[in-house]
Structure 1
Amino acid sequence: MPLLKTHEPDATLVLVGWWGRLRQQWLRMSLSLQFLVAAGLVVSLSMIGLATLASERIQTSATRSASEAGAIFLQAFLQPYVQDTVGSGPLSPEVVATLDGLLLSDPTRPFMMVKIWRLDSTLLYASNPNVKQNEGVEAEIRTAASGELARHFEELDEEVNGIAPEDNVTLLEVYAPLYRTGTNEIIAVGEFYQSAAGLIAEQQQTGALTWAAVAISTVSMLGILFLIVSRGSQTIHRQRRRLERQYVEANALANQNSRLRRLAERAREDASEANEKFLSRIGSELHDGPIQTLSLMMLSLQYGRDGTEDDDASDPPSGPPSTIRLARALYRELREISVGLILPEIEKATPAEVFEIAVSRFESMTGSSVVLDLKEMPEQLTKVVKICSYRIVQEALSNGHRHAGGAGQRVYAGAADGRLRIVITDDGPGFDTARASKPGDRHLGLIGMQNRAKSLKGKLTVRSKPGGGTRVWAVLPIEPATSDEF
């Protein structure tokens, strides 16, 4: 049976999964908690760096102070005995005996061991006889020979004054220049060892105090900032909840307004359809009632009651028109009104066909000739736009025929930028539009066209002047009242 191979999870996938979980936890936190974590991390790192730097500077300063104090004491103690050091010769036995007596016999001496070096790193004297001649101290001696102190901490590697290496005693080793009396000439280097236990304890105490002060300052600062941010976070949270409620209410109002707009659009369409049905009914009633009665009256006047044609039905050469002629004129007007009120079947017609039907019906009724110019048309129009376009063309052409005698009538229609543009012009005598717009002058046809365009959020203007023809210009939306236009 083959062994199944086990695959270790990809480190990249593990890292991505871990990062995703961490990010989710972060997003669940409040703003104040996010601030506390981020600020705590940044401030803590900054304070750790600051505390480390301050502790190191304090420890360095304490070590330098202790070294300088020991160096001053050493110089005062040893310089008188090295004034006769000349050339490469050793110290005299008398000087060595004196130094041994001073350093080895006094139990309260501050130094655990003392050495004297020539500037060429030759050992002149050591209070411990087990010290080797060459200890690799050339760098420290050069530093001291330049007038500076060389210092460092060192662990014991041999027994000194009864202290064994296993006692784990740390010593402060200092190299200090020794001067010729009264001058700045360095003639030797003194080295001393002293216990660093007190210095280390002081440094540890100072470091602990420094870290404690930094920690207290950090916690206090983060606490105060957290309180401030927490208060601001609570304010933001309340405002966010209030905005969320307002958004929900606004969204509900927007949905309600949308429903009301749809209802208003439906009501407007129903009203327009009902109005057209009413007009068609009036037209049918005129055709089936008064027009039929008038036609019978015309036949009676034309042929008489016995059925013979009345030869006197024509108008006399002079005098008022005959009754039959007036009846014929009334018949034509009523028939035109009836035909104009009845709306043809344009619901299934294309936009271009709507304009063609309006122009052809007007030409068949009046015998006039109208130039129709159709540019780029939309593929489809709503029923209310079709009806409005048909009625505007019908009314404008009828007004032009009635007042301008049908001279030079033209119809232009085209679509652009989501709007249908209709222009009807004639070369008639024109009229004063300022006078026509006065309340006393009731131009019902013009008012009706303007109201129809306005009901679709469109616009209709009439431009004319005496002797300059008339221009009716209408702009209708292809999709009327589908957005916030209501």
Structure 2
Amino acid sequence: MSGLAERLGTRRWSATLRTWSLTRQFAVTGSAIMLFAMIVEGVFTAELISKNTIERNGATTALFMNSFLSPLAHHIAAGDVLPAEKQAELDQLLDKDDFEGRFPHLEIWKGDGLVAYSRSPELIGRRFEPPPGLVEALNGEVSARYTDLAAGEHVARGFTVRYLEIYAPIREQHTGRIVGVAEIHEITEPLEQRLWHLRLNSWLARISITALIMAGLFWIVYRGNGIIMAQKRQLGERVAEVERASRHNRILRNRIQHASSRASELNERFLRGLGADLHDGPAQLIGLAALKVEHVRLAGFAQTREMELQALDSLLADALHEIRDISKGLVLPEIEGLPLPEVVRRATRVHEKRTGTTVSLTCEDFPQSLSNAVKMCAYRFVQEGLNNAFRHAGGNDQAVSCKFENGALRLAVEDSGGVDRGRPADRGSGLGLAGLRERVESLGGTFRMSKASTGGTKIEMLLAAAGGDQYE
């Protein structure tokens, strides 16, 4: 159960962290790590400072004690205890207030744990377990440590206050041989105050440096997080834009596929209609003319032959006229190299000439060239739009307008409504509104039919005015 609880707690903490910003994550985790590192390093450094300070203090005290104990080295070496007169001299020296106030106790040890001198007379001549500091001093090192109140010599005197014990070797002046060890007890209050100030200054410096480092790192992370978030927003906007463009491209692709399918269907329908027109019109007339040829051949009189020839000529002329009428709607005028306003004007003039009606034309100049596919689409749009206006509205108030708006061509044909004439303006020339829609959408444009403000019908196409041969 405890393992499961730990895993659940870890997962919740990870989930919480993921909801935080990078700056907040760094502020929390970075502060915790820096605080832990500062505490560990501070404790280690404080111990090192304390140790070095105590050792330096012990070395200074040992040097001071050696100045008045070294003359007693030969007396210490001569016997187990210091002679009485030398003890009296030391007692007199150590009884001074300034000395006794700092160093209340002093012992001189022999190598085997024998006390040769002590400020406590009851210890002189007694043996105790050699303390660790004594062993180190006998090896020539100065040792400083706090009093072990459980040591035998301290128990014998009833010590309850911890002093700083400093062990210093006593050497003969000429040989340098260690003949004894001086153990001096120093009051710890001055040392503790000095250590407290050193630790305080060390911690203040450490906290200040850590705070500066943390502030600098936090500023860097904060600034980096701001840049990352800005780039993330930009990336999100670009991804959204790409998605929108992708959706739009899919819609256009579907439109183009549908338009291509419809264009093929309309083309087949147009070809069937064209075939029917040729079969029902010129082909019938030509077939009838072929029969008339046989009549001419069998005619017995010149007058009869002349009448048959005239009928044959009339049939062939009608067939030729039918073929020409059908061909007019199949062939576009030469528009390559013409600007769009001129293409629209040609389509308008052709319609006026064929129907005897008037068309109001408003067309702006275009700042860029258009592909032939766009110009052919515009021509057919105007042609079919005007044909429908003539067929269904009697050609009343026919109007054509073309504008260039935001990089796109907007072309419109409208009328004011009227009486249906019931016949096309030009036989075989119309593609129908469905064909126009497919043609416009196949180029990526939009086709719309609505009611005009004059009460008639308005058809409108909007097509990107791409330059060059983009659509070809």
- What's the counterpart of residue 139 of structure 2? 146
1:129 aligns with 2:117: no
**Alignment RMSD, CA only?**
3.9
Q: Select 1:13's aligned residue among 4, 11, 14.
A: 4
Task: Flag the structure with higher helix content.
Answer: 2
- What's the counterpart of residue 253 of structure 2? 261
Q: SS in structure 2 opposite 1:83?
A: helix
Structure 2 Cα separation of the partners of residues 138 and 122 of structure 1 = 11
- What's the counterpart of residue 403 of structure 2? none
CA deviation vs aligned residue, 1:317-363 (integer Å, no higher than 9, x gap): xxxxxxxxxxxxxxxxxxxxxxxxxxxxxxxxxxxxxxxxxxxxxxx
Offset, 1:96: 3.1
Q: SS in structure 2 opposite 1:151?
A: strand
Structure 2 Cα separation of the partners of residues 199 and 93 of structure 1 = 33
- What's the counterpart of residue 275 of structure 1? 267
CA deviation vs aligned residue, 1:444-484 (integer Å, no higher than 9, x gap): xxxxxxxxxxx9xxxxxxxxxxxxxxxxxxxxxxxxxxxxx
- What's the counterpart of residue 218 of structure 2? 226
Structure 2 Cα separation of the partners of residues 187 and 71 of structure 1 = 15
Residue 65 to residue 86, structure 1, CA distance change in 2 (3 Å): closer
CA deviation vs aligned residue, 1:144-200 (integer Å, no higher than 9, x gap): 12221122112546998xx9755xx33111111101124422221111111112111
Structure 2 stretches of 5 or more lacking a match? Answer: 300-441, 443-470
Q: 1:115·1:192 contact (CA, 8 Å) conserved in 2?
A: yes
Residue 29 to residue 130, structure 1, CA distance change in 2 (3 Å): farther
Give TM-score scaled by structure 1 length.
Answer: 0.54
- What's the counterpart of residue 17 of structure 2? 26
Q: 2:55·2:143 contact (CA, 8 Å) conserved in 1?
A: no
Q: SS in structure 2 opposite 1:178?
A: strand
1:47 aligns with 2:38: yes
Structure 1 Cα separation of the partners of residues 254 and 246 of structure 2 = 12
Q: 1:59·1:203 contact (CA, 8 Å) conserved in 2?
A: yes
- What's the counterpart of residue 55 of structure 2? 64
Structure 2 Cα separation of the partners of residues 246 and 78 of structure 1 = 88
Q: How does 1:316-355 map to 2 (within 5 A)?
A: none
Residue 50 to residue 91, structure 1, CA distance change in 2 (3 Å): same
Identity of aligned residues (%): 28
Give TM-score scaled by structure 2 length.
Answer: 0.55
Offset, 1:284: 4.2
| Counterpart residue identity of residue 204, structure 2 | A
Q: 1:104·1:127 contact (CA, 8 Å) conserved in 2?
A: no
Offset, 1:113: 1.4
Structure ranking higher on relative contact order (CA contacts 8 Å, 6+ apart) = 2
Q: 1:179·1:188 contact (CA, 8 Å) conserved in 2?
A: yes
Structure 1 Cα separation of the partners of residues 144 and 103 of structure 2 = 14
Structure 1 Cα separation of the partners of residues 3 and 189 of structure 2 = 51
Offset, 1:306: 7.3
Structure 1 Cα separation of the partners of residues 298 and 240 of structure 2 = 84
For these two proteins, the number of residue pairs brought into alignment is: 305
- What's the counterpart of residue 37 of structure 1? 28
1:202 aligns with 2:194: yes
Deviates more, 1:34-43 or 1:133-142: 133-142
Q: 1:170·1:197 contact (CA, 8 Å) conserved in 2?
A: no
Q: 1:155·1:165 contact (CA, 8 Å) conserved in 2?
A: no
Q: SS in structure 2 opposite 1:111?
A: coil
Structure 2 Cα separation of the partners of residues 112 and 159 of structure 1 = 15
Q: 1:83·1:180 contact (CA, 8 Å) conserved in 2?
A: yes
Structure 1 Cα separation of the partners of residues 79 and 175 of structure 2 = 21
